[in-house]
Amino acid sequence: KAGVTQTPRYLIKTRGQQVTLSCSPISGHRSVSWYQQTPGQGLQFLFEYFSETQRNKGNFPGRFSGRQFSNSRSEMNVSTLELGDSALYLCASSPWTLYRGAYEQYFGPGTRLTVT
Amino acid sequence: SQELEQSPQSLIVQEGKNLTINCTSSKTLYGLYWYKQKYGEGLIFLMMLQKGGEEKSHEKITAKLDEKKQQSSLHITASQPSHAGIYLCGAGVGSGSRLTFGEGTQLTVNP
């Protein structure tokens, strides 16, 4: 089985622009979660999508949004980019929405976003 | 929110030595995940523990979950340079695919 894939792998954007990142989960997985990783804050949860619905959201401003398609592929969008948005954005997939650690969660290679 | 504390923050060992990384939660643990990350890359799933007392092994890596102590340990036997990287523990937070992560342990294995 192919793993979680993310595109693009690297991205350089200018402040004020917007960006869309894409994630394809493992075949058969229905839950996709997004995380932001920075040296200062570590790994932080952005949101989770399951069956095209946002199930959970982390403490991020409304500039961060996402969606999930009927084939479980997901995209996240960041509008009005700020320098502080520079980070590694990781997507993770699970067979089902996790409840108290019921399922394994696999991560993709990440998209490195640099905002200048 | 669930807070996870990992210790040590960094570890340097000689090849062939055994080592242990700990992950302690300030709240009840519901599923404990261990991942390995090479700098700037994605997280590689190592194992997941769900029940107190559960122990899992994969090659030379063993993880245990102690629910009473709200703690998990990751033990590497006869370490190799290929074990080098950042080890992260994550735990489930209520419902949904939301994991809270520790800050990670940077492991260096010198040949």
pLDDT digits (tens, 9 = 90+) for B26-45: 887 778 999 999 988 899 99
Residue B104 has pLDDT above 60, yes or no: yes
Interface test with B, best of A9, A31, A36, A43 (most B CBs within 10 A): A43
- In chain B, which residues have their Cβ closer than 8 Å to the Cβ of A106? 45
Q: Average pLDDT for residues A96-106, to the nearest whole number? A: 80
Residues A49 and A114: beta-carbon distance below 8 Å? no
| Cβ-nearest to B99 among A45, A55, A108 | A45
Residues B18 and B79: beta-carbon distance below 8 Å? yes
Record: contact A105-B45, CB cut-off 8 A: yes
Record: contact A43-B50, CB cut-off 8 A: no
Between B30 and A20, the higher pLDDT residue? A20
Q: Average pLDDT for residues A9-13, to the nearest whole number? A: 97
* Total residues found in chain B within this entry: 111
Token reading at A49: 């999508």
- In chain B, which residues have their Cβ closer than 8 Å to the Cβ of A45? 98-100
Residue B2 has pLDDT above 60, yes or no: no
Across chain A, what does the average pLDDT equal?
A: 94
Give every CB contact of residue B32 below 8 A, 6+ residues apart in sequence.
A101, B23, B48, B49, B50, B63, B65, B72, B89, B90, B91
Interface test with A, best of B97, B101, B103, B105 (most A CBs within 10 A): B97
At residue B97 the predicted structure's pLDDT band, cuts being 50, 70 and 90, is low
Helices (H), A1-116: none
Residues of chain A with pLDDT > 70, as a percent, come to: 97
Q: Which pLDDT score, from 0 to 100, does residue A96 have?
A: 87
| Chain B residues 87-106 with CB within 8 Å of chain A | 88, 90-92, 94-101, 103-104
How far apart CA A45 and CA A98 sit, in angstroms, is: 14
| Cβ-nearest to B43 among A48, A58, A107 | A107
Token reading at A16: 């004020």
Task: Establish if B85 touches chain A: CB-CB under 8 angstroms.
Answer: no
Chain B CA closest to residue A93 = B97
Distance set, CA A102 to CA A78, A83, B39 (Å): 30, 36, 28
Reference B33, options B25, A32, A10; nearest CA is B25
pLDDT digits (tens, 9 = 90+) for B47-83: 999 877 889 998 999 999 988 888 999 999 999 999 9
Distance set, CA A98 to CA A59, A105, B75 (Å): 19, 8, 26
pLDDT digits (tens, 9 = 90+) for A55-70: 889 999 999 999 999 9
Residues of chain B with pLDDT > 70, as a percent, come to: 94
Judged by average pLDDT, the poorest of A6-10, A82-86, A93-97 is A93-97
Tokens 């894939």 identify what position?
A5
Secondary structure of residue A39 in the 3-state scheme: coil
